[in-house]
A and B are shown apart, each in its own frame.
Chain A
């Protein structure tokens, strides 16, 4: 129980957020939206870690969140750089155009 709310609700909320993100990554075609969906998945994890951290009265879960935030920033920086490189070559960020490698 955290402030009178059962941990199950936190678990449910972050699972729902995570699934929305995962479905988004698989279904959407716009690269920027895909990045946003990955961020959503990571933030669902952050939410879960923070609530478990409060539940266990243990700060290490919250410290882990900082690591996730830093790494996510690095990942998105690299991702946007690759994306801008692709945009220069094909003038689009639609993932359907990225099928030059044989299936």
Chain B
């Protein structure tokens, strides 16, 4: 909770920086603030099982704290990476404030206990992102990305709200624990519109995590937004949305899982097939990463679908989010530097191994991790998903996942081949990367490798 308060205060401080003229100091202040928030967040880990605030609106249990930790750590690295994104514009401080408020929403989503905080968290997270997606004012592509994100986001929110209203109508409460109790006590006498409500909530959450067939906005938004904002969307936002998804369906609707697992299985199957085959056909690296994030969404949805002993699925999802977030931060950091001249296609990576060997190595590790090749963390992320899924009746999804992962390996390896085996046609100048950015990219790559070699570091957090 203190972490949440610190980040909110940081957002307000960021807005004051323009007036009191400490713009130059803002980045160090924000980084310190995030470290402090992380420390306070970590201290709450050992206090008790769950402390609830605001009449049980929000409660930080271990699961919430773990997800908040991932989000804060990713955000810390992101802010260092985004250093010069903030410098190139005149409205620096507003961007700081917007990102920080989006973080507040993300933290709320990790630990909501009530449908009100779920809705508010999603909106507090999304509304700043609509602005950030459209933040290149003169660039029509960025405008379009922001607009599409806004329309699709509000459309999904409307579905979410209608779902919430129907569930409220059936159970008479917004509190997810009370909903759970009511549902298990009256499972025979629930009205039909309760089922409709659950399906609408499912659709809305699938929109938010961009799972097929509700993914069509994602490639456009990812491509059009400034690269670093795309990095934020595919790490922090995705982790938060999945934390919320897991909590809502695992805590709130676990008792009626037969109502939604069938729908979710179809969503997973569609996401796996559509995302991997579309990604293989993309030339733009950003679009490829967008489709790759949809296929990762499918894997994370499988964890929710498996819905096994809760500790196992929470563990699996935390490990997956961590592996995916850090791999993506490294990948997007490199994409940002390589595509700076405007060429966003895979051939921009040609000969990167000669032009900047460090970046090429980090990109190779990130790609291997996203593809799920052993010794990187992506492999164990997928392994945990498979162990969770093997006990469920949806084993056919595993076969589909393995086949589509093979297709996935193709487009990740395409980038590696471009870097190591193709020579650049036009120019051979080296790519200069700022020291701080190199540090972030190397560090996140190291984390990807370390938790891949010693998965027990993260995977046993919930061994109860």
Contacts and interface: CB of A to CB of B under 8 A. Distances in A.
A75 B224 CA distance: 20
A68 B145 CA distance: 24
A29 interface: no
A9 interface: no
Contacts of B154: 38, 75, 79
B165 A41 contact: no
Contacts of A41: 155, 158, 162
Nearest to A11: B193
B147 A82 contact: yes
B140 A89 contact: yes
B223 interface: yes
B169 to A, nearest CB: 4
A82 B130 contact: yes
A49 B151 contact: no
A82 B161 contact: no
A22 B148 CA distance: 15
Contacts of A14: 165
Interface string B143-184: 111111011001101100110111011001110000000000
Nearest to A86: B143
Nearest to A74: B127
B137 interface: yes
Contact of B140 (A7, A38, A90): A90
Contacts of B284: 102
Majority SS of interface residues in chain B?
Answer: helix
Given A67-B120, A79-B154, A101 B174 contact: no
B463 interface: no
Contacts of A56: 169, 172
B435 interface: no
Contacts of A34: 151
A79 B168 CA distance: 29
A89 B143 contact: yes
Contact of B116 (A44, A52, A64, A81): A64
Contacts of B157: 42, 71, 75
Given A38-B154, A101-B144, A45 B161 contact: yes
A51 B326 CA distance: 46
A102 B284 CA distance: 10
14 contacts: A18-B162, A31-B147, A42-B161, A45-B162, A48-B169, A52-B168, A58-B172, A64-B174, A78-B130, A98-B144, A98-B147, A101-B220, A101-B224, A102-B223
Given A48-B165, A82-B146, A98-B144, 7 more contacts: A25-B155, A34-B151, A60-B173, A61-B165, A71-B120, A75-B123, A79-B147
The 10 A-B pairs at the shortest CB distance, nearest first, are namely: A41-B158, A52-B169, A45-B161, A101-B220, A48-B165, A56-B172, A98-B144, A71-B123, A86-B143, A38-B154
Interface of A: 7, 11, 14, 18, 21-22, 25, 31, 34, 38, 41-42, 44-45, 48-49, 52, 55-56, 58, 60-61, 63-64, 67-68, 71, 74-75, 78-79, 81-83, 85-86, 89-90, 98-102
